[in-house]
Structure 1
């Protein structure tokens, strides 16, 4: 109750909630792409499970802050002259997540544009368990990156008056729960919009490629990778990345508004069926 009556705590809560929602955009995009390949009745379940897993992973990591921060310590240092660095648990998790996101994004783009059509009863269309496993794996990386960012923000900011680490953790847990509630409310409409507009699907997958590159750079920075004595790998500021994402979405929304009467191209295994084709003979 003391936290709820402290104005500084409310400011911290709103700031962290907004941050978690922004950092959760890539999670919603990934959920939309993966759940879009499932049967229509399985898609809401996959989105709910995915976002609840994100909440659980984030809260678990918060309670293990000491363990999370301990992963920053290097366990293997190397120096080949032209290339040096030190591997840590944090760098490996973030770097591995970036590689997985790049692989998954490029594979999905290939599948949607040049892959073979699969029947609605096919394994890829109904693989709810496989989709949840993919969501869970990437949620670990997203949660890890989100918690590291939130911890960095809390560490660099002035803590709410009268609150120590325990109070900060309570605020961060409340922010995570609030952000997941907001994302649960908007995940359905966002997924529907993404699946109804193929250009948004490809744009979303392109965003995931950008985020994958950002994770690779961040993992390399955490591992202190250096080329020679002068070139050090730096992380990419998230603000630049999200500005590019929102600007691209704004441009695409303008394009959709100007060309809303045109028939969109159909991607492979799209769950959306053109209303004008429903009564065609070959669909009978």
Structure 2
């Protein structure tokens, strides 16, 4: 308890907390986009519940990983070498998660661009996703994003209480933004394609980082923000054209 009071009185700790909260919120955007797209495939009555379960699992995984920081830190140690690069367990997890994101985003883009014909025996397959399958996919990506999030936190501060508060704040933001973001994505078909494009980019970034190519996340999120701004302007233009003269 005394250690917490000393930490609370340290201005540097508050600066570290604010920085880490901002970083965790930004990293949580990737997680939230995926959760929104997956849960929108469910029947409407089950979407909100699935989103809350998905975000709750993200919180549980992050807090559980914080309790095993010594193990998490060792995940960055190389376990074998190939192509002149030492691969760690973190690298392998990022590569697997990136490949899954690329596969999932490509599959959803194909489904949106070339939907099954009305009389096709496969029509409608994929229009809705099973609840268990949705939660399983969310859990798999939650694990990837959680490990990346905790390793980032460990690199920014040695204080576990600061990490815990930052994770709780980030998950609280995800909970607040989940339903509005999912509704917005569902109501705007072009935004669905934009979000799937984001997932493709995030997946390729995870793969690149797994192979040792560091991609500054500032560039990624700046590109995402610019694309979202352009799409926002397109939405405003379409609304203006539909408005009665």
**TM-score, scaled relative to structure 2:** 0.89
Q: Which runs of 5+ in 1 are unaligned?
A: 155-164, 222-233, 264-284
Aligned counterpart, 1:242:
221
Q: What's the CA shift for 1:108?
A: 0.8
Q: Deviations over 1:178-232 (max 9, x none)?
A: 11111101110011001100111100010111111110111000xxxxxxxxxxx
Q: Number of aligned residue pairs: give it.
A: 233
What's the Cα RMSD here? 1.8
Q: 2:168 aligns with which of 161, 177, 183?
A: 177
Cα offset for 1:6? 3.6
The alignment status of 1:12 with 2:3, answered yes or no, reads no
d(CA) in 2 for partners of 1:259, 1:186 = 24
1:99 paired with 2:102, answer no
**Displacement, 1:74?**
2.0
In structure 2, C-alpha distance between the alignment counterparts of 1:90 and 1:259, rounded to whole Å: 44
With over 3 angstroms needed to count, the CA separation of the structure-2 counterparts of 1:151 and 1:252, relative to structure 1, is same
User: Which residue is equivalent to 2:192?
Assistant: 201
Give the secondary-structure state (helix, strand or coil) at the position aligned to 1:24: helix
Larger Rg: 1
Gap regions ≥5 residues in structure 2: none
Render the CA deviation track for 1:59-93: whole Å, top value 9, x for unaligned. 11112111111122222234xxxx32223211111
Could you say what secondary structure the match of 1:42 adopts? helix
Structure 2 distance, partners of 1:77, 1:194, is 42
Q: What's the counterpart of residue 140 of structure 1?
A: 143
Aligned residues of 2:98 and 2:204 also touching (Cα < 8 A): yes
1:68 aligns with: 72
Q: Aligned residue for 2:45?
A: 41
Cα distance in 2, alignment partners of residues 38 and 14 from structure 1: 36
Measured in 1, the distance between the counterparts of 2:77 and 2:25 equals 29
Q: Which has the higher helix share?
A: 2
Question: Deviation at 1:106?
Answer: 0.5
Alignment CA distance shift 1:123-1:255 (3 Å):
closer
Q: What secondary structure is seen at the aligned counterpart in 2 of 1:87? A: strand
Distance, in Å, in 2 between the alignment partners of 1:262 and 1:210 is 31
Aligned pairs for 1:20-169 within 5 A: 20-78=24-82, 83-116=83-116, 118-119=123-124, 125-154=128-157, 165=158, 168-169=159-160
Cα distance in 2 for partners of 1:8, 1:185 equals 28
| Aligned equivalents of 1:102, 1:143: Cα separation in 2 | 18
